[in-house]
Chain A
Amino acid sequence: MKMKYNKTTKLIVGCLLVFTFLACESYLDLKSDATITTPNTLKDLQALLDDSRIMNLRLSPSLGESVADDYYIPDNLLNSFNSVVLDLYLWRPIEFLGVGNDWGRGYQAIYNANLVLDLIKTIERTELNKHDYDQVLGSAYFYRAFYFLDLTVQYGHAFSEESADKDLGIALRLTSDFNVPSTRATVRQCYEQVIEDLNNSISLLTEYPQHPMRPSQGAGYALLARTYLFMRKYDLALEFSEKALQLNNQLMDLNGDTDILDFSSNTPIKKYNKETIFYAEASTGPIYLTIRGIIDSTLYRSYVESDLRKKMFFNIIDDNPYFKANYTGSQVVTFSGLSTNELYLIKAESQAYLGNFNQGMDALNSLLKKRIDRDVFQEISASNKESALRIIREERRKELLIRNLRWADIKRYNKEGANIVLRRKVNGQLFELQPNDPFYALPIPKAIIDLTDMPQN
């Protein structure tokens, strides 16, 4: 009799507990505050990626551009800056405090991308939503790749097959859970992650975007081309630049174009012009150095008189040229996105590097035709690979001025033995940055190093 009761009792208590456990799974998934939007639909996730202030605008790490060699700051202006800016300008390691820096900005966009990648796992892909689903998923991969690449270029050394497995890159954060600690991956791992994310995104995205601020397949190809160029894998850079150009090969013709306004305007180029494949802006950096700086005089002189860019690109104040022709429609905000002119130059450089220097010059001439006064334009040619490469790289610097690319290019060329020494003359004193100096991997903010025990550059 007693046994029977015990059995019944156990059964009842057991059922009670089992019920509790089963019930709590979904019972506890309810949102505690209904006015809080917690993103959980595809629309919400798309909205996270459509937050342009977090995903596109004034975010791309640009310290590299700020310390590159296309411009200089006159002494009187430089002396009015604080010591941090001065140290940076003279390539001395600095300590960044606070979050208003490139590291934080870049990872802010990566967080959103990771959040979308985490949350989309809870949504089922169906016949009805597959278009939106793929678009959201592909966009998240693209954004993550875009900022991983920018951050790697700034905080890691240039890619080289010999040292990519030991050079330190950035923290490859692949989840939105901040409890997961950050560690530095190698440069190779960083580039491999970028390529993997881009390959994922290309298969998901539509060929063209609804708006230039949204990623597209074209943007994916263009970013892959840029990535392989940075890795000096010229064959792949060529392949993807051509794929991207197949989707969009339009160029603005400086001889007359609806996207070009008056050359004398402070903002001569329209925002979202026909060359823009993916719209992104560089972070404004320390006090807009690149915009307040005077363009290197040798560089300025290298634009021939018939080169329409010489008129359109610069503001001449007291005989000093200042850059103004941003693809952002703004005099102060610089462009860091992807555009067709960059693709032409990647294609040209890759062809030349691979030995097809005539095809390389052809690609360059297609671009220059739209840049030089049509009345005097003559195609240029090169007699060998070396001269073709030299011409194309000079033209690359002239065309992609203040486009957040020069720093990566210097690093890349020096890995090929270009031996570019950066020089600054401040208050009569000469400062130099030797090729492959440790400073080429810029210092990571001190707070991050202190909190994570990641090694500093």
Chain B
Amino acid sequence: MRKYNLITLVWAVIFFLGMLASHAQEGFRLEGEVTDLDGHPVVVTVRHSGGSTITYDGKFTVNLKNVPDTVRFTAEGFQTITRIIRETGTFLSIRMSPKENLIEEVVIQTGYQTLRPNEVNGSVVVLGEQQLASRAGSNILERIIGQSTGILQAVGKQESKTGITIRGMGTIHGPVDPLIVLDGFIYEGNIENINPNDVENVTILKDASAASIWGARAGNGVIVITTKKGRFEQPMQISLYAKGLFYDEPEIFPKGTIGASEFIKLERMLFDQGYFDTRILNTPYQPLTPAVEIFLAQREGRINSAEAERQLAVLESYNAKESIRNEFYTRPFTQQYSISADGGGARHTYLLSTSYDQSRQENYAENNKFNARLSNRFVVSDRLTLNTEVYFTQNINKAGRPSYGSVSNGGRYSDYLSLRDSKGDPIPFDGHYRRIYTDTLAGGNLLDWSRYPASDYLHNQTTRNRQELYATTSLSYQVVDFLSLTASYQHQVQRIDVESIADVESYEARHLINNYSHIDPNSGLVIRDVVPLGGVQKSSFSGVNSYTMRGQANISKIIGPHSINAILGSEVREASSNSWANANRYGYNDDPLIYTEVDVVNRYPEIVRGNLTPIGANTTLTKTTHRFVSIYGNASYSYLGRYILSGSIRRDGSNIFGASTNDRWKPLWSAGLGWQLSDEWFYNWETFPNVRITSTYGYSGNVDMTRTALPTVSNGTDPETFQRYARVMSINNPRLRWEQMSQFSTRLEASTISERIRFSLSYYEKLGSDLYGPQPYDYTTWGRLPEIVRNVADMKGHGIEFEMHSDNINGQKLQWNTDLYFNWNDNKVVKYYRDPEMPIYYSLIGGNGHRISPIEGLPLYALAAYKWGGLDGNGNPQGYLDGELSTNYSAIINEAAKEGTNMVYVGSASPRFFGSLVNAWSWNNFQLTMNVGYRLGYFSKKSSIAYSALIDRGEGHSDYNVRWQSAGDELFTDVPSFVYPNDPNRDVFYNASHIHIFSASHIRLDQINLIYKLDTSQWKNAFRVFHIHLGFQDLGILWRKNKLGIDPDYPYQERPSRLMYFGLNFTY
């Protein structure tokens, strides 16, 4: 904290000196005027040896300190002019020409305000339409990847729902996702609902200064999405858009397989060793695999050895992976269409757009999305403006075919399966029970109890229908020239209906019907009075509703060199969600539409095992309501446009927080200082005519919406007194509050003449305090648990961001730009409770770095492992016990839990250095961009064979084929030998040992994008814009540090498929 005070002091001194300097004016008098090319006066800053002066009417009088002198004239939107003055006394006339490549000025949307970059001290990134269009995909968040600093793709991290984090982590148990804001209001709907083509720009608020205006939920940064609007005084234009996205087929079975004949050999061995015997004897209905059935039939003499061999040969010819791929998988394909009309007159603008996305996913699931949007602006009077936005989305998803993980015989996998026989008919599989057992049950009169993976899915239909209406309206009244009042309102309704029908031929229905069938002892007939013959229909609903009411005063005033920009407002917000699942309907038939009521409460015997079980209603009902009441203010003051002082303050009350938190006035605030160094009189570095330094410090919050400050109880009936009892499950905490993130951030921005090279360098420190974490507490209070979750943990992060934009070639025909983004981010847990009995790294053992396991002093995502001592001469993995090599696995595991001496800490599982390099070439009508991403300085963990999973469930791994098999193999392989009977601790040790952790540093080719812009200027009455896009995405790894050939972000996991897309874009 002391460091910040010092920085503040230094700033104050600089500020003060600067003010003094700008008033010290004496020397050579220079007079003149500045106009644009048409002769209109320009608001301009005149910089010279004696300081700098701003003029509003174009006329200026300045006192030069010395002559000759260099005088610079800078004005917003115009090219800077530099004159060398050798003598004074003459009236100087300057004509400024507008900046040519200024297509549209960048504006920063904070959600509450629209600001220009020089009014903001905080760290903000704005991604415009063009950048958003350079990536494909229907999720707007996918499109912001790799085009700025501060954003990290949180690949595989379980806590991350959006898949991105801004400036690293700031919380341990709280939500890690940035807050999403759509058109000025917090967006609680499904992010997939927002069609990227409707988005004008995305503003990312990275530091506390920028985000703290969003208060208690802004701690992870804020992503402000602003949709397109019509423009004033623009004739109607119609834009059409079509795009096709072609993905590669996914790689299924990413862990690899053992292969059919090896697998049969393995099962033969297990069978011969008697592994299956207890099961066959005690639970003869429990499914076996096809090969084991053959071995058993042979042993029981039902088939002879020749027949067995013949049948096994058939199995051996099967390839499970190929068969499943052919049956269930395809190349995903998406088509996107959009049409929009926009325009405006003097007092009204409008935009109407509709889009339609259709996609076929890798498993043939179908997704249809329809968006419609209407945006209007009315200038009612000179003082009154009305904005309205209505956004409607409908998304219908039909579930596809089964996944590869679902094909098994009663939960046991085999590598030699086929879904169809040689004639192309579906092959039956065991479901819950062995077919050989169920075929004869009840005199063979039950429904067929086999699974047919190749055709069962045809009888299961799941439809998910999501609809959302998102509307905002705001009314602005200009009270006086410097003050306007805005009242705005947002309303959102999202509903998701899911209906799933398993018809009578589906396995699900057949299983249920059979399971509860029974035999009439007199007639011997099958009675189906518990679950009737027919299908099973399930339906569920979930809804999200939110509204916000906001009143805001906006103040904007320029008095001479002083400019003030401020807002003050208050807001009331409610977001509620509710869901229910209906009781399943049985005996369902859709034509005629009928179903039968069943008794879901009482227990009925299951036909195979005789267990008494209820059918079960599987109903749910939930409702949550979150309410916030907030007041906020933000102000920036600028002197000469050279010093900018900004600050914000916000206070939130919520029904999530405890009563004493709501009662106390503890607001979140931020402050920042910006200094346009290059405007100073003493600044004279011609190479960088534009240099700016900013520093900010502030607080924002983070709220876990699932917590409650109230005591929660579960209810029951006391078996002794038969009274209802209520048992407290979590204690009341009147001081439950938001987690607090503070961030210090400082930035240097500079650009060369004509902004040929622009760069910025930032350093930030993030401190998460009052984080939710367990804490041993004085259980005199409650006595039930030794630890409770309170706002007690702390963490720290810091990092550097560097970005550079260079116009390498800026010719008439050929242009070449390079953008370089570099990030360094480190974080560590500062305060977190650990049982003092537990060794420090123990809780990391066995983890794969995909979930936060907080340990004081270590990064949130970290990897540790058992020390690895290689394989011994018998192919056994060796660890360490008392510092000596050992194969006593339970003792090794025990030592790790007690002493912790045989473990090794490896490092961060999240990239510490990352960024991207974007090159864009434009030649005549062609434009080519290429984005290369890099992620360095972290570790990943691969998987390997676990023999217990292989024996118990048939889960294979390609490492099996390179396992230790005979003496001397230990020189070539680290994969332990297969032993039977297997010691599960051996698997546990091996899979959690250091051997599996490898450096994850790599560089990947993220995307290549080619646009051909047709020259439409010669065309009559036709398109104003006609673009053709061709792009490739997720092209693969260019360099990796590991020698294993593994994609370190997806070690033995399905990775995103390579994508090619083709699109047309024209405006009429």
- Which A residues, 47 to 99, have Cβ-Cβ distances below 8 Å to chain B? 47-48, 50-54, 98-99
Interface residue from A5, A33, A107 paired with B706 (Cβ < 8 Å): A33
Contact assessment for A48 and B713 in the assembled complex, using a CB-CB cutoff below 8 Å? yes
Closest 3 CB pairs of A and B: A104-B783, A108-B783, A47-B726
Contact assessment for A52 and B728 in the assembled complex, using a CB-CB cutoff below 8 Å? no
Chain B, 770-785, contact with A by CB distance < 8 Å: what is the 0/1 string? 0000001111111111
Contact assessment for A28 and B710 in the assembled complex, using a CB-CB cutoff below 8 Å? no
16 pairs of residues in contact across A and B, judged by CB atoms under 8 Å: A9-B553, A24-B653, A24-B662, A30-B625, A37-B712, A37-B726, A44-B726, A98-B786, A99-B785, A99-B786, A107-B780, A111-B783, A173-B780, A176-B781, A447-B776, A451-B776
Contact assessment for A2 and B480 in the assembled complex, using a CB-CB cutoff below 8 Å? yes
Contact assessment for A178 and B625 in the assembled complex, using a CB-CB cutoff below 8 Å? no
Chain B, 615-657, contact with A by CB distance < 8 Å: what is the 0/1 string? 0000001111111010100000000000000000000011110
Chain A, 5-33, contact with B by CB distance < 8 Å: what is the 0/1 string? 10011001100110110011001111111
A327 interface residue per 8 A CB criterion: no
Contact assessment for B733 and A178 in the assembled complex, using a CB-CB cutoff below 8 Å? yes
User: In the complex where A5-B480, A29-B655, A52-B718 touch, is A99 in contact with B780 (Cβ < 8 A)?
Assistant: no
Q: How far is the CB of A168 from chain B (nearest CB, A)?
A: 14
B708 interface residue per 8 A CB criterion: yes
Q: Which of A9, A173, A213 has the most chain B CB atoms inside 10 A of its CB? A: A9
Give A19's nearest chain B residue, CB to CB: B570
A383 interface residue per 8 A CB criterion: no
A427 interface residue per 8 A CB criterion: no
B390 interface residue per 8 A CB criterion: no
Q: Is the interface of A mostly helix, strand, loop or mixed?
A: helix
A115 interface residue per 8 A CB criterion: yes
List residues of chain B with CB under 8 Å of any chain A CB: 479-480, 483, 485, 551, 553, 568-572, 621-627, 629, 631, 653-656, 660, 662, 705-706, 708, 710-715, 718, 720-721, 723-728, 731-735, 776-786, 788
Q: How far is the CB of B731 from chain A (nearest CB, A)?
A: 6
Give A28's nearest chain B residue, CB to CB: B655
A287 interface residue per 8 A CB criterion: no
Q: How far is the CB of A172 from chain B (nearest CB, A)?
A: 10
A24 to B786, CA, bound (A): 35
A31 to B625, CA, bound (A): 7
A173 to B779, CA, bound (A): 11
A177 interface residue per 8 A CB criterion: yes
Taking A37-B712, A111-B783 as given, write out 19 further A-B residue pairs in contact, using a Cβ cutoff of 8 Å, ordered by the A residue number: A5-B479, A13-B553, A13-B568, A17-B631, A20-B631, A30-B625, A34-B624, A35-B621, A38-B710, A50-B723, A52-B720, A108-B782, A115-B728, A179-B660, A179-B733, A179-B734, A182-B778, A211-B721, A451-B777
User: In the complex where A23-B629, A32-B708 touch, is A181 in contact with B778 (Cβ < 8 A)?
Assistant: yes
Chain A, 141-180, contact with B by CB distance < 8 Å: what is the 0/1 string? 0000000000000000000000000000001010011110
Q: How far is the CB of B483 from chain A (nearest CB, A)?
A: 6
What residues of chain A lie closer than 8 Å to B627, measured between beta carbons?
Answer: 27-28, 30, 32
A17 to B651, CA, bound (A): 12
Contact assessment for A17 and B570 in the assembled complex, using a CB-CB cutoff below 8 Å? yes
Interface residue from A2, A5, A32, A111 paired with B781 (Cβ < 8 Å): A111
A435 interface residue per 8 A CB criterion: no
A27 to B381, CA, bound (A): 36
Contact assessment for B708 and A47 in the assembled complex, using a CB-CB cutoff below 8 Å? no
What residues of chain B lie closer than 8 Å to A112, measured between beta carbons?
Answer: 728
A360 interface residue per 8 A CB criterion: no
Contact assessment for B656 and A32 in the assembled complex, using a CB-CB cutoff below 8 Å? yes
Interface size range of chain A in the complex? 35 or more
A268 interface residue per 8 A CB criterion: no
What residues of chain A lie closer than 8 Å to B783, measured between beta carbons?
Answer: 99, 103-108, 110-111
What residues of chain A lie closer than 8 Å to B781, measured between beta carbons?
Answer: 107, 111, 173, 176, 178, 182
User: In the complex where A111-B728, A111-B783 touch, is A35 in contact with B623 (Cβ < 8 A)?
Assistant: yes
Interface residue from B551, B706, B718, B732 paired with A51 (Cβ < 8 Å): B718
Interface residue from B571, B721, B776, B784 paired with A108 (Cβ < 8 Å): B784
Contact assessment for A213 and B720 in the assembled complex, using a CB-CB cutoff below 8 Å? yes
What residues of chain A lie closer than 8 Å to B734, measured between beta carbons?
Answer: 177, 179
Contact assessment for B625 and A32 in the assembled complex, using a CB-CB cutoff below 8 Å? yes
Contact assessment for A36 and B625 in the assembled complex, using a CB-CB cutoff below 8 Å? no
User: In the complex where A9-B553, A48-B728 touch, is A34 in contact with B622 (Cβ < 8 A)?
Assistant: yes
A43 to B627, CA, bound (A): 27
Interface residue from B485, B662, B724 paired with A28 (Cβ < 8 Å): B662
What residues of chain A lie closer than 8 Å to B654, measured between beta carbons?
Answer: 28
Give B568's nearest chain A residue, CB to CB: A13
A52 to B781, CA, bound (A): 19
Contact assessment for A52 and B480 in the assembled complex, using a CB-CB cutoff below 8 Å? no
What residues of chain B lie closer than 8 Å to A447, measured between beta carbons?
Answer: 776, 779, 786
Contact assessment for B662 and A211 in the assembled complex, using a CB-CB cutoff below 8 Å? no
A452 interface residue per 8 A CB criterion: yes
A252 interface residue per 8 A CB criterion: no
A433 interface residue per 8 A CB criterion: no
Contact assessment for A33 and B624 in the assembled complex, using a CB-CB cutoff below 8 Å? yes
User: In the complex where A12-B485, A16-B570 touch, is A51 in contact with B727 (Cβ < 8 A)?
Assistant: yes
Give A20's nearest chain B residue, CB to CB: B570
User: In the complex where A8-B479, A48-B726 touch, is A104 in contact with B779 (Cβ < 8 A)?
Assistant: yes
- Which A residues, 429 to 457, have Cβ-Cβ distances below 8 Å to chain B? 447-448, 451-452
What residues of chain B lie closer than 8 Å to A211, measured between beta carbons?
Answer: 721, 723
Contact assessment for A178 and B777 in the assembled complex, using a CB-CB cutoff below 8 Å? yes
